[in-house]
Structure 1
Amino acid sequence: MEKLGKEFSYKKGKENKVKFMAVQRKSNEGSRIGELYGKITVSDKDYFQGQRKLAKKIEHPFVRLCKRIAAFSPGLGKNGKFNEANQQAVAFLNWKLSPEEFSAASTILLVVSLFAAFLVGTVMMFTPVSQIFISFQITGIGVPIVAYVPFLLIGLGIVSYFQTYPETEAKMEQTRALTYVPEIMGYMIMSIKLVPNLEKAVEFAAGHGRGKIADDFKNLLWESQIGVHNSLSEGLDKLAYKWGQYSDDFKRSMMRIRDSVIESSDARRYSLLDQTMTEMLENIRTKMEQYVRGLQQPTTMLFYIGILLPLMLIIILPVGSSFSGTPLANPIVLFIIYDVLIPATMIVFAFNILQNKPPTYRIPEIPDNQPGLPKKFSAKIGGVNIDVRAAVILLLVFGSVFSFVASVDGLPPRTLYSAIGLDDRFPQLLPADKQKIDVLTAAGREITYFDISEEGVIYPRYLSQETRRFDPDELDEETLTALSEKVKQKVLAEEKIFYSRTQNDIAPYNLVFGILITFSLMIFVYFYYTNIYKRKIQLEVMEMESDFKDSIYIIASRMAENKPVEEALKSVQQFLHGSKVTKIFAKTLDNINMLGMPLSQAVFDTNYGSIAHIPSEIIRSSMKIMVDSVQLGVNVAARTLISLSIQLQNSDKVNKLLNSLISDITGTMTTMTLFIAPLVLGITTSLQRIVIVTMSSVASSSFLTTNQNLDVSNFGGGAFTGVNISSIVSPESIAGVASPTEFIIIVAVYIIELVIIMTFFTTKIQEDNDLLVKINIARFVPIAVVMFVISIIASKLFVGATI
């Protein structure tokens, strides 16, 4: 066998070289493939540098869940099929999920959900838990309906969500593409401007892009290498038409990029690529405007659900409860409606809106071990280092004691007056809450006036009146129990009327307000001081990223003058003197000059690298591009960095465009959350007392006399002599209405939930930043609670004077 003297080398990275001899076969002698591979020699050092590994792709959690559920009974999915929407979604997402697995998982989930609903309903009907139906006056057919139907609906809702999840996930990926497509196209254009090679452009874009489309580019490279596609161009065509049904911009841009590669003139190529990017940015602006216009109706619905609906319910529920006899205004029912159902509806609605938000700016995520952060749960308050958890506990104890003292003794405490020699008649800044004994005494009634016992005043009287209507022989134990319960409800209704009037109000306002403000301050201290230090570092990194775009252009300009990279980095320090981003380049130069590190190590070394502790994906990926391009020469590096600077500016334009378009909406919703909602809901507490007093007054009337001489001969003669209102508005329904104190607590809990939900929504829709969400919640909850307290006090003074 003859050997040719020609030597080939394959270069991987900077140093990984594999040398081999090409072997020529004689026409009459054959060589086995094993002999050819046996000629290849690779050193251990070279082998482990720049190696690539084959790794199994991590499956989506939903796919893993389906496979695990289906494994319990695979036969249930026999002959299963996707519907058209799920078929397209699974194909689009490249999920390794078969119709049989999905069908089996859906069937098992349906069976389990129905069984769980039946089990919970049965437990509620045939165990002591069933007493809850009696307390809510639910009897007859209403018992199984309430026991089973809600849980059946919850189970069916879970199954429906499961079955439509692939379609929902695909739509979310398509929404993300609104941002990811121009970004990845920008990277392709950047690469082709340097070297008009499609494969290099796809590889470069796949390595720096984000989202599903970047994964598809990586898959395209792999499939092209193993022969799935006849050529990379063919694979790009398929990818363009796959994404074209969701993003026509991508398909059109991909075609133009392919055309630019075969252009012989550099000027025409650059013109075509620039035109492609310009049109894409214009299309993004149009779509962003459409997205923002689409937010108007959902945000208006959030306003209706979160603010107007509770205001309407405070009138509807007591009236409906009084006339229907159902416990709609019961404290438990109000808690479920105000603090469970309405917030849950808002959460679902808000998440649906957020799912359609296109991602833009990648917020730097600050790890817990970031240099410069204090010890976890440690904060500096008033120049003293304290544990945040201890501060929250101390605040809880102090606030609770302070609220109790203010409620019982007022501020300053009345008990201190005698100790310092002051007269008890000396005015207090904050009088104590009214007590039952004081109110009853002031009204000229005995302390036991409303007691439900023989020692009470009106209870024995009413019971005696009711029993006189029966013969002694008819008063068995069952009848006496029924009469006693009827009289009890009547006494409770009168007590509710009495204490609902302003002059007899015994609601512990000082205690409730003190606990609310204490709880809001606890939220502030915990969330603010556990996140503010990260936020400060995050803002510094964001400032670095903003200046980094300018620094890239300066570096490119200096390198275009054939200056080495070290000189270019020094120029940044001169032009951007005082900017925090210069610290990165100064550290890079120190590592090169003092530690003798090569450029790559000077930047990326895990211990001493200039960006080792800079948690910014934008800076890290851009520095990677700079380091790689410098190895190809200063001219290539200069052109690369100029293209990168343009790409970063385009991404920044998209981010600023979205923020400017939605700023009006988020500003309005923040105002509603902080001021309008607490003020309106604070007024509802006074309206609730007005409704109670009004309905109680109606219930206490035996008859409403109207038109006694009205001629109704057309109806058979006679006249309307009275309408029995007491049979419509019963004392039992009035007695079951939530007291003012209970209602204030229910609405206060709702206010806190509302602020948290709306703050999460407005922050996320403007800036996808979990750190800022927590800080905004810490800032907004105390403001909203104080506004709620002020609203209650003001409405009590003005509206309460009428009752």
Structure 2
Amino acid sequence: MQQTLGFVESYYIKFCKVLARFSKAEVKPSRELSDALEMLEWDIRPEEIARASRVVMYPTIAIFLLLLVVSVLFGLNPIVFIVLTAAAPLAANHFLSEYPKSRAKEEVLVALGNSPLIVAQLATSLKQNPNLEQATGFVAKYGEGRIARDFSTALRDVWVGKYPSLFDRIPVLAEKYGKWSEGFHRSMYLILSSFNERNARRKAETYNKSMEVILTDFVDKIKEYTASLHMPTLFIFGFGIIMPLILVSVFPLVSFFGGKLSLDTIAIFLLVSLVGVYFYSGIILRRRPPMLTITDIERDVPEGYLRIGKTKFPAVPFSIVI
């Protein structure tokens, strides 16, 4: 099932398809890019994105070379445009090739946030009645998020004869998300292996083990991520706060001793530092593991109201009166 595309995603795909037409070179995309597009289900091949990311460098170089010439003709400082001419093509190439990976990571983080609940629903249903089709239907009906929709798709694929049974379709689902979560991968195969158990107690232990595995995987990854934040935090603090303060404090001393430190140089340094910290922070945040999704409980009373008996009142006037 193809996902509904947003404004940026839609124009990104169109832009890459147009650029890819200008190159017939055989470019082998990375495995990570292929996995990302498989997860996103976008209507574009990884080879097209790989070609587009190379082609985009040429017009980018031409544009910034033109700006560099204009800056020289008008007597502007060409240093900024020289730096941009060197950096912009690489940045454009990086954006086109990395954007699908970043979007896939975001999708996976949201989807896997519901995975412990999905496994728990599947295991609970199987404990009551060891029928995989019924348990899959239960998850498809009451589960939340993308994985629950994939369970619904799996059930439909079996009904239309695309797969012989759910025992052939569930492993496909496990492999799809197993690239991103080993815990979910193991939990799915543990649940499938429970059908080989004849002893009811062993079956129940396998179901419990499947839930334990995915929760342990969540906790371990969160601990690893937390432990890895020490150096990035120091780096962001140093370049985002300490270095600008040092530069501002040193500027009067340099001027006092006759040194030349122009405001343009300071502005460029601060701008580069700010942009660098911003992008580095984004990289660190994209490494974060999935987090448990809090179940949204619907309210009987709208926000800002209270109910007395069967009547609803605005909370603010009632609070003022009291």
**What is the TM-score when the length of structure 1 is the normalising length?**
0.34
**1:63, 1:97 within 8 Å by CA — same for their partners in 2?**
no
**1:181, 1:213 within 8 Å by CA — same for their partners in 2?**
yes
**1:552-581 alpha-carbon deviations (Å, 9 max, x no partner):** xxxxxxxxxxxxxxxxxxxxxxxxxxxx9x
Query: 2:220 is matched with which residue: 276, 281, 286?
Result: 286
Distance, in Å, in 2 between the alignment partners of 1:343 and 1:84 is 32
Instruction: Tell me which residue corresponds to 2:49.
Output: 102
Instruction: Tell me which residue corresponds to 2:266.
Output: 334
Q: 1:181 to 1:161 in 2, by over 3 A?
A: same
Query: 1:359 is matched with which residue: 287, 291, 315?
Result: 291
Instruction: Tell me which residue corresponds to 1:616.
Output: none
Is 2:278 the counterpart of 1:344? no
Kindly state the Cα deviation for residue 153 of structure 1 after the two structures are TM-superposed: 1.0
**2:39, 2:104 within 8 Å by CA — same for their partners in 1?**
yes
Instruction: Tell me which residue corresponds to 1:69.
Output: 15
**1:120-170 alpha-carbon deviations (Å, 9 max, x no partner):** 22332223xx3x43xxxxxxxxx4x44332244134213212212233334
The aligned runs of 1:524-539 (5 Å cut-off) are none
Q: 1:266 to 1:365 in 2, by over 3 A?
A: closer
Is 2:204 the counterpart of 1:270? yes
The AA in structure 2 aligned to 1:344 is V
Is 2:72 the counterpart of 1:125? yes
Kindly state the Cα deviation for residue 234 of structure 1 after the two structures are TM-superposed: 0.7
Q: 1:279 to 1:302 in 2, by over 3 A?
A: same
Q: What SS class does the counterpart of residue 308 from structure 1 fall into?
A: helix
**1:51-101 alpha-carbon deviations (Å, 9 max, x no partner):** xxxx86424666533431245455324344423332233234433321453
Q: 1:157 to 1:371 in 2, by over 3 A?
A: same
Instruction: Tell me which residue corresponds to 1:116.
Output: 63
**1:187-215 alpha-carbon deviations (Å, 9 max, x no partner):** 21122233322123223324444555344
**1:498-552 alpha-carbon deviations (Å, 9 max, x no partner):** xxxxxxxxxxxxxxxxxxxxxxxxxxxxxxxxxxxxxxx9xxxxxxxxxxxxxxx
Distance, in Å, in 1 between the alignment partners of 2:176 and 2:59 is 37
Structure 1 unaligned regions, length at least 5: 1-54, 134-142, 374-536, 538-579, 591-607, 609-803
The AA in structure 1 aligned to 2:67 is V
Kindly state the Cα deviation for residue 173 of structure 1 after the two structures are TM-superposed: 4.5
With 289-298 and 69-78 compared, the bigger mean Cα shift is at: 69-78
Query: 1:91 is matched with which residue: 12, 18, 38?
Result: 38
The AA in structure 2 aligned to 1:91 is E
**1:186, 1:277 within 8 Å by CA — same for their partners in 2?**
yes
The AA in structure 2 aligned to 1:254 is M
**1:245-280 alpha-carbon deviations (Å, 9 max, x no partner):** 432222221122123345555444333312322343
Query: 1:305 is matched with which residue: 239, 242, 245?
Result: 239
Distance, in Å, in 2 between the alignment partners of 1:260 and 1:83 is 36
**1:402-434 alpha-carbon deviations (Å, 9 max, x no partner):** xxxxxxxxxxxxxxxxxxxxxxxxxxxxxxxxx
Kindly state the Cα deviation for residue 241 of structure 1 after the two structures are TM-superposed: 3.1
Instruction: Tell me which residue corresponds to 1:620.
Output: none
Q: 1:88 to 1:60 in 2, by over 3 A?
A: farther
The AA in structure 2 aligned to 1:284 is F
Q: 1:120 to 1:200 in 2, by over 3 A?
A: farther
**1:382-404 alpha-carbon deviations (Å, 9 max, x no partner):** xxxxxxxxxxxxxxxxxxxxxxx
**1:114, 1:155 within 8 Å by CA — same for their partners in 2?**
yes
Is 2:174 the counterpart of 1:240? yes
**1:215-261 alpha-carbon deviations (Å, 9 max, x no partner):** 43333233323333222111112322343343222222112212334
Query: 1:156 is matched with which residue: 69, 80, 90?
Result: 90
Q: 1:372 to 1:235 in 2, by over 3 A?
A: closer
The AA in structure 1 aligned to 2:193 is D
Instruction: Tell me which residue corresponds to 1:193.
Output: 127
Distance, in Å, in 1 between the alignment partners of 2:254 and 2:88 is 26
Q: 1:117 to 1:321 in 2, by over 3 A?
A: farther
The aligned runs of 1:333-412 (5 Å cut-off) are 333-338=265-270, 340-357=271-288, 358-362=290-294, 371=302
**1:67, 1:105 within 8 Å by CA — same for their partners in 2?**
no
Instruction: Tell me which residue corresponds to 1:749.
Output: none
The higher radius of gyration belongs to 1
**1:316-361 alpha-carbon deviations (Å, 9 max, x no partner):** 5556677895434x2x5434444x3333222222222222333334
Q: 1:155 to 1:318 in 2, by over 3 A?
A: farther
Instruction: Tell me which residue corresponds to 2:4.
Output: 58
**What is the TM-score when the length of structure 2 is the normalising length?**
0.77
The AA in structure 2 aligned to 1:118 is L
Structure 2 unaligned regions, length at least 5: 313-322
Distance, in Å, in 1 between the alignment partners of 2:255 and 2:141 is 64
Q: What SS class does the counterpart of residue 101 from structure 2 fall into?
A: helix
**1:305, 1:342 within 8 Å by CA — same for their partners in 2?**
yes
Distance, in Å, in 2 between the alignment partners of 1:151 and 1:161 is 16
**1:653-704 alpha-carbon deviations (Å, 9 max, x no partner):** xxxxxxxxxxxxxxxxxxxxxxxxxxxxxxxxxxxxxxxxxxxxxxxxxxxx
Q: 1:126 to 1:221 in 2, by over 3 A?
A: farther
Q: What SS class does the counterpart of residue 114 from structure 2 fall into?
A: helix
The aligned runs of 1:465-544 (5 Å cut-off) are none
**1:305, 1:346 within 8 Å by CA — same for their partners in 2?**
yes
The AA in structure 2 aligned to 1:334 is I
Distance, in Å, in 2 between the alignment partners of 1:321 and 1:372 is 59
Instruction: Tell me which residue corresponds to 1:36.
Output: none
Kindly state the Cα deviation for residue 293 of structure 1 after the two structures are TM-superposed: 0.8
Kindly state the Cα deviation for residue 303 of structure 1 after the two structures are TM-superposed: 1.5
Kindly state the Cα deviation for residue 292 of structure 1 after the two structures are TM-superposed: 1.1
The AA in structure 2 aligned to 1:353 is I
Q: 1:277 to 1:85 in 2, by over 3 A?
A: closer
Kindly state the Cα deviation for residue 171 of structure 1 after the two structures are TM-superposed: 4.0
**1:240, 1:254 within 8 Å by CA — same for their partners in 2?**
yes
Kindly state the Cα deviation for residue 185 of structure 1 after the two structures are TM-superposed: 0.8
Distance, in Å, in 2 between the alignment partners of 1:182 and 1:363 is 12
The AA in structure 1 aligned to 2:29 is F
Instruction: Tell me which residue corresponds to 2:315.
Output: none
The AA in structure 1 aligned to 2:99 is Y
Query: 1:203 is matched with which residue: 137, 162, 179?
Result: 137
The AA in structure 2 aligned to 1:342 is S
Instruction: Tell me which residue corresponds to 2:118.
Output: 184
Distance, in Å, in 1 between the alignment partners of 2:177 and 2:2 is 25
Distance, in Å, in 2 between the alignment partners of 1:257 and 1:337 is 56
**2:29, 2:46 within 8 Å by CA — same for their partners in 1?**
yes
Distance, in Å, in 2 between the alignment partners of 1:309 and 1:237 is 51
Distance, in Å, in 2 between the alignment partners of 1:363 and 1:313 is 48
**1:70, 1:101 within 8 Å by CA — same for their partners in 2?**
yes
**1:66, 1:102 within 8 Å by CA — same for their partners in 2?**
no
Instruction: Tell me which residue corresponds to 2:317.
Output: none
**1:106, 1:162 within 8 Å by CA — same for their partners in 2?**
yes
Q: How many residues align?
A: 308
The AA in structure 1 aligned to 2:172 is K
- Indicate the percent of aligned positions where both proteins have the same amino acid: 26
